[in-house]
Amino acid sequence: MGESHRQKKIASVLQRDLVEVLQSAATQGGMRGIIISVTKVNVTVDLSIAKVYLSIFPVDKGEELLEGISSNATLIKHELAQRTRHQLRRMPKLVFFIDDSLEYIDQIERSLKGLDNPLDDTDLLNKRKKT
């Protein structure tokens, strides 16, 4: 079963406001050269949890920034609640994830172009093994 109209509407409101909150926090925090984008927000059926998928550039800073964002989730939730107080009664709990789909697409393109040849670079074979 797909998302209801209400879930989609809440997700889009959260996504729009989260972009503003995270970008203002990044510029105020002195993080120059780091781009944080909210690629997707999924809200559960009971509207209690919002799964937020972030794309962070440069990629090597992703885990570090995700930890910082997750540890400040209550502050972010409060800021969002202030912005959406006329649209939402209750603010869902925010759970943050790294969206690595762009990196995955880039790996596929490199493989299709022949740039990542596992015969030339044997380290790639270990990454491609199924566990």
- Cis ω before 92 (30° cut-off from 0): no
Assigned fold of 5-99: GMP Synthetase; Chain A, domain 3 (3.30.300)
Output the six-digit token pair for 53. Answer: 């998928």
pLDDT, tens digit (0-9, with 9 covering 90-100), for 86-122 = 888 889 999 999 987 777 777 788 777 777 665 666 6
Q: Where are the domains of the chain?
A: 5-99, 100-131
| CA within 13 Å, CB half, 82 | 7
Is the pTM above the cut of 0.85? no
Q: Which of 9, 77, 92 is nearest to 46 (CA)?
A: 92
Rg (CA), the chain: 18
